[in-house]
Amino acid sequence: MPSRTAIPSARQTELLEAAYRYALTHGLTDLSLRPLAEAIGSSTRVLMFLFGNKDGLVQALLERARTDELALLAHLRQADRPIGLAPAAEQVWTWLAADEHRPLLRLWAEAYARSLVEPDGSWAGFARSTVDDWLDVLAACQPQPERDGEDGTVLRTLTLAVLRGALLDLLATDDELRVTAAVHRQLALLRREDRAGNA
């Protein structure tokens, strides 16, 4: 997903934050500029001036959502003492399973799916970028021998697949107890494999 290079004005930042709050509630699929502008105290003319067009606004909103996602992942990086895949995944899942994060995660799921079925335009590259972001952070959580070893990529890919699949299940059902139990079962297996590998 291309980055916006110009430094945004205070008004643009203010409207982007308001539009982001709106998108967390209403989603992006049927986003229409007129109702959005009315809801955030602006006008379609101003939004078009600041973001170019609807695609430009959607792209800015996706970048804003990605900023929140990266903020979650950033605290897991401990270059001097990697915490390991299972502890990292446990921390991530605790955050993903929290009720207050559902609006952001529904927006993420919507953008991820749209990026897969509409690979051009404002959605372009969102799914690939988020996979790369997560794999990069999970790699940083692995001790170097594991990270650089033959199975390092496989283990972090498996960890990501478990988290992502569990998240989609949770968003579909709101059955947090069942899904969390399944995540913990898989993480126990990962810890067991890790101990066996270090034995």
Question: For 60-104, what is each residue's pLDDT tens digit?
Answer: 888 888 888 777 777 776 657 788 899 999 998 998 999 988 998
Question: Is residue 179, in this structure, part of any structural domain at all?
Answer: yes
| Residue 148 domain flag | yes
Confidence of residue 2 (pLDDT cuts 50, 70, 90): very low
List Cα–Cα distances, 22 to 37, 71, 94, in angstroms. Answer: 10, 20, 25
Q: Give the model's pLDDT for residue 78.
A: 63
| Percent of the chain whose predicted confidence (pLDDT) is above 90 | 43
Residue 2 forms part of a structural domain: no
The reported pLDDT for the residue numbered 196 is 57
Tally the domains of the chain. 1
Which of the residue ranges 91-100, 112-121, 173-182 has the most confident prediction, judged by mean pLDDT? 173-182
Q: How far is CA 28 from CA 31, 73, 76, 120, in A?
A: 5, 23, 29, 16
- Domain with 107 in it: 65-198
Q: For residue 91, what is the enclosing H or E element?
A: helix 85-97
- Is 189 in contact with 172 (CB distance < 8 Å)? no
Whether residue 85 lies inside any domain: the answer is yes
Report the mean per-residue pLDDT for the chain: 86
Whether residue 38 lies inside any domain: the answer is: no
Residue 59 within any structural domain of the chain = no
Q: Residue 77 gets which letter from DSSP?
A: -
d(CA 64, CA 66): 5
- Per-residue pLDDT band for 6 (boundaries 50, 70, 90) equals low
Q: Is residue 140 situated within a structural domain?
A: yes
Predicted pLDDT of residue 194? 66
Q: What phi, psi does 101 have (nearest 5°)?
A: -100, 0
pLDDT at 198: 56
Task: Read off the pLDDT band of 38 (50, 70, 90).
Answer: very high
In this predicted structure, the answer to whether residue 160 has a pLDDT above a threshold of 90 is yes
Better-predicted residue by pLDDT, 195 or 91 = 91
